[in-house]
Amino acid sequence: MRFTLSSWPIIALGTASLFLAAVVATGLVCNERRQNESIARAITGGDPARAPALIRRYGCAGCHTIPGIPGGDGQVGASLSGLRSRVYIAGVTTNTPDNLVQWIVTPQAFSPRTAMPATGITEAEARDVAAYLYAQ
């Protein structure tokens, strides 16, 4: 294709349009992420920003695939991707913020034969992890 001096304004306009579309799309994704985090904080009482360190400390990613966690590709337990849209937690209890927190702290209280161990995580820490999972 041959470009002439008169075609450069059209090319520049097209490039600027693509750049603007990318900026708008990025802004929408960031806005959605902030909104999801805000809702997750409100319903769990936790802080999703503290969760990645807790997830590493308690070894959650060794068993679960967890979005946004480097090395979070465990295959023993269920993937935790899209957790907020599920009806049940581990197939045994309804998916509510309080149930999720209690499941993280003492899964055997819901299912004595579960393979998920009691990790020693505190309720406050579990609220942070729950907030992170609901924010994804």
| CATH number assigned to the domain comprising residue 95 | 1.10.760.10
Residue 13 pLDDT greater than 70, yes or no: no
Does residue 69 belong to any structural domain of this protein?
Answer: yes
Total number of domains in the chain: 1
* Lowest mean pLDDT, pick from 7-11, 12-16, 20-24: 20-24
pLDDT attached to residue 10: 62
Close Cβ partners of 132 (under 8 Å, ≥ 6 residues apart): 40, 46, 48, 51, 52, 55, 68
Does residue 1 belong to any structural domain of this protein?
Answer: no
Q: Is the pTM of this model over 0.75?
A: yes
Give the residue-averaged pLDDT of 60-85.
Answer: 95
Does residue 2 belong to any structural domain of this protein?
Answer: no
Give the residue-averaged pLDDT of 69-96.
Answer: 95
Which residue intervals of the chain are DSSP H helices? 8-44, 51-57, 97-105, 123-135
